[in-house]
């Protein structure tokens, strides 16, 4: 009988120093056995990787992340496959569904939105499947923060403006207030803070930043449905963005970016195209 929790608990009991024995099983570029956990990208079907597209095209069963995966992508690459949404299914339902299809010899893919590595909850499914003897692997995708950055025609790190990027989420049902670090990232000044899973909570998040005395004029940019045909960009500040997003009516599917990098304001020329490569040893930027 399937018990995903046992697989998760077993993984949790292993010391962090113990390496996952599957890590060196394959060399880069080699074809892998098992269920691919594929990053579908942010929405635009063209942003699925070449490998992801080939795997989805071959699939008999596509288990996907519901409305976060563009239906055009499913239509374009796997119209003939059985398509099942993972929304509303718990691990106890998902794992046997995928395992049974795999054991029947069907070609199954698991399609996550963006990249599975970011708020994807992929690892628990993979561990549970591996526990049942079903091999799995990850095919990365384009995370929505990168799509939002491209839509804004900017970089998330920008010389003289932002040296770091934080992928984060606000406190709520699944994150305790003491684990919400948005204020700390903003306080650092040279961090571009990308907030996932926070569209519904923008006014509260901004109110907290105001209560913590952050500069109310700090730029905040919200990219709704980055790379989708109905993409929308709303610009404001810590003080104004809450009202603007509420007026637009967005409650989900947006990337909230705090910081000057989203506006490309005040950046400096980088060393990279300034003779740097010829005069110092170190890691080249690209
Ligand atoms: C469950 S998380 C999954 C993130 C996904 N794994 C990724 O890498 O983008 C869902 C959140 O990602 C963000 N998101 C996903 N797709 C988006 C898009 N096309 N535009 C803006 N934000 C998006 C939203 O903040 C949404 O609440």
Q: Kindly report, residue by residue over 11-39, the tens digit of the pLDDT.
A: 777 777 788 877 777 777 788 899 999 99
Task: Find out whether the beta carbon of 118 lies less than 6 Å from any atom of ligand 1.
Answer: yes
Task: Find out whether the beta carbon of 122 lies less than 6 Å from any atom of ligand 1.
Answer: no
Q: Which CATH superfamily does the domain covering 4-142 fall into?
A: Tetrapyrrole methylase, N-terminal domain (3.40.1010.10)
Task: Find out whether the beta carbon of 41 lies less than 6 Å from any atom of ligand 1.
Answer: no
pLDDT at 282: 58
Using the mean position of ligand 1's atoms as its centre, give its distance from the Cα of residue 148 in Å. Answer: 10
Residue range 229-265, pLDDT digits in tens: 999 999 999 999 999 999 999 999 999 999 999 999 8
Question: Token pair for residue 18?
Answer: 């113990």
CA 155, distance to chain mean position in Å, is: 17
Asked whether the beta carbons of 51 and 151 are under 8 A apart, the reply is: no
What atom of ligand 1 comes closest to residue 117's alpha carbon?
6
Using the mean position of ligand 1's atoms as its centre, give its distance from the Cα of residue 233 in Å. Answer: 15
Q: Give the residue with greater pLDDT, 66 vs 1.
A: 66
Task: Find out whether the beta carbon of 42 lies less than 6 Å from any atom of ligand 1.
Answer: yes
Strands (E), 128-264: 136-139, 164-168, 191-195, 219-224, 232-237, 254-258
Q: Is 47 helix (H, G, I), strand (E, B) or coil?
A: helix
Task: Answer whether residue 6 shows pLDDT above 90.
Answer: no
pTM attached to this predicted model: 0.93
What atom of ligand 1 comes closest to residue 197's alpha carbon?
27
Fold of 145-263: 3.30.950
* Delimiting residues of CATH 3.30.950.10 domain(s) in the chain: 145-263
């Amino acid at each position: 009988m399937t018990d995903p929790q046992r697989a998760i608990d077993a993984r949790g009991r292993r010391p962090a120093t113990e390496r996952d024995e599957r890590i060196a099983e394959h060399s880069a570029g080699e074809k892998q056995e098992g269920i691919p956990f594929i990053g579908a990208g942010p929405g635009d079907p063209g942003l699925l990787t070449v490998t992801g597209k080939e795997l989805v095209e071959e699939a008999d069963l596509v288990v996907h992340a519901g409305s976060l995966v563009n239906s055009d992508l499913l239509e374009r690459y796997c119209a003939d496959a059985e398509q099942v949404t993972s929304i509303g299914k718990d691990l106890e339902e998902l794992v046997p569904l995928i395992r049974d299809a795999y054991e029947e010899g069907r070609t199954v893919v698991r399609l996550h939105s963006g990249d599975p590595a970011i708020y994807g909850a992929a690892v628990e499914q993979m561990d549970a499947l591996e526990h049942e003897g079903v091999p799995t692997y990850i095919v990365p995708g384009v995370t929505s923060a990168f799509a939002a950055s491209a839509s804004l025609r900017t970089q998330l790190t920008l010389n003289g403006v932002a040296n770091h990027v934080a992928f984060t989420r606000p406190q709520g049902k699944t994150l305790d207030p003491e684990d919400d670090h948005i204020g700390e990232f903003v306080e650092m000044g040279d961090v571009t803070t990308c907030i996932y899973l926070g569209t519904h909570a923008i006014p509260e998040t901004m109110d907290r930043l105001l209560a913590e005395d952050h500069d109310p004029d700090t730029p905040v940019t919200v990219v709704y449905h980055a790379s989708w045909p109905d993409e929308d960009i709303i610009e404001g500040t810590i003080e104004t963005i809450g009202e603007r997003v509420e007026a637009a009516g967005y409650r989900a599917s947006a990337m909230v970016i705090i910081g000057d990098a989203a506006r490309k304001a005040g950046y400096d020329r980088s060393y990279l195209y300034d003779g740097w490569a010829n005069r110092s040893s170190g890691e080249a930027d690209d």
